[in-house]
Structure 1
Amino acid sequence: MNQTPRFRTVFRCTLLVVSLGLVATACGDSDSHPLSTKPFDAAQQVVLNTPKAGTVDPDKPLEVTVKGDEGRITDVTVVSDDGHHLAGELTADGTRWRSTGSLAAGAKYTAKVSTEDGEGSPGSRTVAFDTSPAQRFLTVEFGPEAGTYGVGQPLIAELSLPVKDKAARALVERGLKVESRPSIEGAWHWVNDEVLHYRPKEYWPAGATVNVASNLRGVKVSNKLYGGPSKGLKLTIGDRIEAITDASAHEMTVLRNGEVINTIPVTTGKPGFSTRSGVKVILGKEYFVRMRGASVGIFGSEQYDLPVYYATRVTWSGEYVHAAPWSAGSHGSANVSHGCVGMSTGNAAWFYETVREGDIVQVVNSIGEEMDAFGNGYGDWNMPWDEWREGSALAAGTRDGTSPSDSARLRPRV
């Protein structure tokens, strides 16, 4: 007696499961809904403005339209072979799609168009096409040469053609990729229409690796001008070497990674020829240089013609750190040079062997003019960070730079 109700309950549950199974089977019928069917070929439904023969003009937008009133476009995806998606907009009624981004020149694309007919059945069309190659190219040459440099070395990007338009400059900057390990905050600065410098907010970290490359190939920069192929660059950053010259104390203090490794008696520029103040970056080293006063416009009683050894260049106009045995009596006590930092031959040889390109040479307590940011070497670090960023097209504003003066590339002075 007590088991009968229990049996009926189980029986009813079984019927319910069977009933639900029948309903689920009916709802899962693959032929009962138009969206579950295989998309039809929409080749007769939609038209792309790609020529049947030849290539697509990358200066013109790509368009996809529906023929007459034969349904609507539901989605368009256009991707280049290197994975870049082309942006576009679809009209509200689904009758036309038009690209809003720029096609790359000399590239291969695949366009996938999804549609619906008047009854809601899905359609699909896939079209592959090429874009015609560019006639004018913008290429980038990066500097310095690959190698190991000091923590003050800026990156240089020299463009093959001038870029003046702010929007085009922003596009160029986005295409110049800088990656460092460890990562740092940095920015490009337009020196002029054809040259950009890149530096971190602070000096590069010692031991860092830096890679710079251009992603502009095929990208539209401006009307009929496209990015061309450019070779990337890899740098390694060495120890943090800083040589701080106190012109009033007649002394140079050399630090490696924050620790003093040498203190050297020196002489700097005398009145009328005072050594430039500020941060300079070592440009190169020359074991022997013939220094002549006439080559930098010094004549009369101040004229000189001297053989100079262990010369480390810090400006294009001829400022060096070098051996100056003729002024040995003034090292550590008086400033008697024509702008260079002079020291004994032994100290100059040590300095020459210790430093590398990109290391920092800073002059303090000098009455000389301030080191320019550009045009006479790498004075980039003398520009405050906020001002540096103003020279980026991706920052608040772009400051028009001036070309480095060729007149600054003069011969040495002592």
Structure 2
Amino acid sequence: MSHEPRPRTVVSCTLLVIALVAGATACGSDGNPLASRPYDATDRISFNVPRGDAGKADPDKPLEIRAEESGERITDVTALDAAGRHVTGELDADGRRWHSTEPLAAGAHYTVRVSTEDEDGAPGRRVLTFDTGSPTAKKRLTVTFGPGTGTYGVGRPVTAELSRPIKDPAQRAVVERALKVDARPSVQGGWHWVDDKTLHYRPKDYWPAHATVRVRSDLDGIKVGDRLWGGKSKGVTLTIGDRVIAVTDASAHSLTLYRNGEEVKEIPVTTGKPGFETRNGVKVVLGKEYFVRMRGTSIGIAEGSSESYDLPVYYATRVTWSGEYVHAAPWSVGSQGSANVSHGCVGMSTENAEWFFDNVREGDVVQVVNSDGDTMETFGNGFGDWNLDWKEWREGSALTAGKQKIQEDTSRLRPTAV
């Protein structure tokens, strides 16, 4: 019995062989851009750090990575220390060289992962670990954060007091990048240099009610300047309470307290009379004192003058260091709600002052509107931070001053312009 040939089957087999050959080529790893595993780029990439037992890297010098082979280019670099801190850097336009743009930490262990690409587009990889030596400098820069760990109102800024003054803009940028504020829920916020040794951090708006704010310094082991290195500093954790805002309308002679957006209580008050007008603007509760002895001499009133006073005051909630309070003023009850007769404080009945005292905490907001007084000082007399708009606040940052682009903490690779 004869059989007719089956050309369609032969063609199918031929196609299958071609497909298998193509598949074998696609799965190869020898310099092919479709390689499933990156090749070892050890001999194609060089570092400027000691290898093996050669010693430890000098933290004073930037980390530099170069592509040595013709046609080889660097595509990505990730440099991390054991604490999880990234090293920011720049990649040259041709992809042949990457260098760090911020100081390495002293006494740290680093892991560097470099991704490459050869002239055929095949991916390569090299991983290097190294240790940095200890700084020879004796000067250390440490940070003291405020307030201490605890619960505060939505208006309390975070403060950072440096152990040494920092004037140089580049050094300020190093310091500012290392001061970390992590809020949950997250908020937009930033540092503002009050002076050479003091920074304040606040959100664009008040802290969210019931947020958790963790503050720390990553300066330890980081070179700040010539013979100046960051030291260890203790972090703090703030818990934010209810959103409490007390608004005093000086022209209406009333204080209204809002909690989480709802009006809780309206209180008749008296504020500063002509010549002693209460400061306008946003202030923050600094503390509470059950008893304070108030004297006119403390605000510049001469003893024996017609304006002189020396009074025992109860339930005093402080809002400025110079002596402005919300407090009990039983002697002016007849004017409360109708006239302004105080020397700058917000006065109310003893009963109302006790209620206010019991319902606010450090960090709560006290805002005065419609007074003829000056606006609350931004710094130096309490926390007038919120009287700067967000644009003005960001101009006090070493990272954004002069309308520079905000540098992201997570940035690791920045190609330079061609």
**Bigger Cα Rg:** 1
Distance in 2 of aligned mates of 1:248 and 1:165: 46
**Secondary structure, aligned partner of 1:184:** coil
The reply to whether residue 288 of structure 1 matches residue 291 of structure 2 is yes
Alignment counterpart, residue 374 of structure 1, candidates 376, 379, 404: 379
| Cα deviation digits, residues 34-62 of structure 1 (max 9, x gap) | x99x97996xx979563966543311345
Deviation at 1:169, TM superposition (A): 2.1
Give the aligned partner of residue 58 of structure 1.
59
Distance in 2 of aligned mates of 1:138 and 1:72: 45
Deviation at 1:72, TM superposition (A): 11
Distance in 1 of aligned mates of 2:340 and 2:180: 45
Identity %: 59
For the Cα contact (< 8 Å) 1:59–1:223, is it kept in 2? no
Alignment counterpart, residue 261 of structure 2, candidates 254, 258, 262: 258
Give the aligned partner of residue 152 of structure 1.
155
The reply to whether residue 271 of structure 1 matches residue 280 of structure 2 is no
Distance in 2 of aligned mates of 1:371 and 1:32: 68
Give the aligned partner of residue 106 of structure 2.
105
Give the aligned partner of residue 355 of structure 2.
350
| Cα deviation digits, residues 79-132 of structure 1 (max 9, x gap) | 5334545747799898x98665532212123568999xxxxxx99896633322
- Bigger drift between 351-360 and 153-162 goes to 153-162
Deviation at 1:282, TM superposition (A): 0.6
Alignment counterpart, residue 233 of structure 1, candidates 228, 232, 236: 236
Deviation at 1:230, TM superposition (A): 2.0
Alignment of 1:39-78 (within 5 A): 50=50, 55-62=56-63
The letter for the 2-side match of 1:203 is Y
Alignment counterpart, residue 388 of structure 1, candidates 384, 390, 393: 393
Distance in 2 of aligned mates of 1:310 and 1:105: 51
Change (3 A) 1:354 1:223: same
Deviation at 1:381, TM superposition (A): 1.3
For the Cα contact (< 8 Å) 1:56–1:132, is it kept in 2? no
Deviation at 1:252, TM superposition (A): 1.4
**Secondary structure, aligned partner of 2:60:** coil
The letter for the 2-side match of 1:129 is D
Give me the CA root mean square deviation: 4.0
Distance in 1 of aligned mates of 2:253 and 2:229: 54
Q: Which runs of 5+ in 2 are unaligned?
A: 117-123, 405-418
How high is the TM-score relative to the length of structure 2?
A: 0.77
Q: Which runs of 5+ in 1 are unaligned?
A: 116-121, 400-414
Give the aligned partner of residue 412 of structure 1.
none
* Number of matched pairs: 387
**Secondary structure, aligned partner of 1:330:** coil
For the Cα contact (< 8 Å) 1:59–1:224, is it kept in 2? no
Deviation at 1:71, TM superposition (A): 9.6
Distance in 2 of aligned mates of 1:150 and 1:182: 15
**Secondary structure, aligned partner of 2:271:** coil
Alignment of 1:4-153 (within 5 A): 4-6=4-6, 10=9, 50=50, 55-62=56-63, 79-83=80-84, 84-85=86-87, 87=89, 101-109=102-110, 128-133=130-135, 135-153=138-156
